[in-house]
Structure 1
Amino acid sequence: MESEPEAKLWCDQVNPANKAALEAWLRETGIRLVQVNGQRKYGGPPPGWVGGPPAPGSEVFIGRLPQDVYEHQLIPLFGRVGRLYEFRLMMTFSGLNRGFAYARYSSRRGAQAAIAALHNHPLRPACPLLVCRSTEKCELCLDGLPSALPRRALLRALHPLAGALTGAALLPSPLRPPDNIALLRFSSHRAAAMAKKLLVEGHLWLGGEQVTVDWLKPELKQQLRLQGAGEPSSPPPSPAPWAGPEDGGPPACALAALHGLCQRQQLGAPVFLTKCLGSSLTGWYYFWYQVVIPGHAVPFSGLMWVAVDHGGQNEHEAAKEAVALRLLDVLGGPKAWMAPETSPPGSAGDLVWARAAAR
């Protein structure tokens, strides 16, 4: 495996002439590019922008790009036909582009002008650009949900995304009966893409099952319409991330329940180590954790995304709660958090945002 300095040196040697030209253009124009999540972005909004973002339909997709082309050639070209609100170039680790980009204009008229003027434009000899309307996908599909999962439990699990979530529907799955699927609609393509990234990286579990997260495909949407399934409806006001037992949710304090379980099984008090490795703009924190239980042969450790309830709870407390809930499952099954004489109000696995395998 290459070391970090060796990898950086290799990346620096890829396409050096155009990289140097890009850096010179940035110094000359004062334009600022931000690289995040595999893409390099200008604007969104650009300097001097007043008001909200442009209406849907103002973005174009740009394809058939030579991989050694950068923004110093593309932004001026696409800026000639209309005012750019945002330009996003998809990037590889080596610093080449991935062959496509998105240009968002201040209005739909700008997008229409770009398609009319620049589709099949010969950026280089025998290299015509593909420029077409961006689909701006805003809907996700969660497949593999247990048929008994209530909609309220789904919304509680999606609480960290509530600010961008504009609709949700829980329906029978035509792909994996008798499971359910959830259709989620977001306020923008960017919000949907960020939600998809977080849900996939977070390994979302609901009702004890790991959920498959993907874009809602047109053919599936059409199939659901033929079956009479409705569009995603508006969700109620953001629910609390944890519900009480009367709602079929997990206990109010999994950490206390874990301490109680360890005491009953004479394992000794668990000791938690948590380290926050990063965070997202939508309220998720990425944690490494290790839990030592004196009476257990090996410590438990792993990585997980954690959602934080900001009602007086900090991210480390949230991480300990999420890890404790996971260990209750491992040590005593889904009913371990309940007192022996208590009848089960619901599944303790319903609302785990991200569960890492204990090892």
Structure 2
Amino acid sequence: MQSSSALSVRQGVLYVAIAATAWGTGGAAAAELYDVGGIGPIATSFWRFLSGLGLLLAAHLVRRSRRPSDALSLRAAFAANPRRTMITGLGLAVYQTAYFAAVQQAGLTVATVVTLGSGPVLVAAGARLTLGERTGAAGAAAVGCGVVGLVLLMGGADASIGPAPVLGIGYALLSAAGYAGVTLLGRFSGREKGSGAFESTVTGFAVGTVCLLPMALMEGLVPDMERPAWTLSLILYLGAAPTALAYTLFFAGLGALRATTASVVALIEPLTAAVIGVLLFGERLNAIVLTGTATLLFAVLFLAVDEGSGRATSRRTPDPDLGHDQPASQSTLRAKD
């Protein structure tokens, strides 16, 4: 794969679009694994982490062999900030497992939309409260849209979208909160998004795998093997497409894109999940839920507009000490499943 710095903007958009599409299929694969394998969301998340970790480790070895001077060792990536790595791994485990639980209780479409729509809103609110980051009018509109969208979704949720839709929306909010916590930690730590981002992802998944193992053992770790080929295929797919491939492409794409662009392109994920949910799982969304879904997705678009405005202002504002324009700050709005 090309170095992220060598990618064009068009290639970056393609990489993020493929990653978002792959993420959108992850919940569907998990839902199918529930039925075929008879396991719960924690065990499903563990198998996703384990298989994805194996593939990410293989990719890391390839990177090290091809570009030993550019790729950090996993030991160096962990040693750079072990506390952050541990918290990041725990956060990954929480928000991805909670997302799978949301899919189980509220259906694929609603779970994905609530998780993706609420995550950036919680990041914006948390950054304002904890880091003092200011939001403009578009940012305030995003928070408002997020709240209205959630109220509509909770008010319109019924048994037609899942066995326990309100509980599922609660799990989706927990997933979004886990994502927001990891993102805010990255901002607080001043984490660089370029060098070492892939290696940090590998170590984070390693920590997450260890965190999930004891809970998965209590829930029931080993899936039923009445259809072993299909069960193993689903596990491998979860590790390959929405995990190893998606995260690798996403981080590569971020090297060529503004976070605003990446956040908008990532809206492909809920659209993919919605199409799969309606066509393959027979999900039916009433008018209130559809309105809440659209409102929540508008929140992400408003955040993208707010970030774009902030970048433009930053570029126009000269630094009084240096006497020239300051570069816009880097931030990432994306959530991940």
TM range (shorter): under 0.3
The structure whose residues are more often strand, as a share, is: 1
The structure whose residues are more often helix, as a share, is: 2
TM-score normalised by structure 2 residue count:
0.23
TM-score normalised by structure 1 residue count:
0.22
Q: Which has the higher contact order (CA 8 A, sep 6+)?
A: 2
Q: Which has the larger radius of gyration?
A: 1
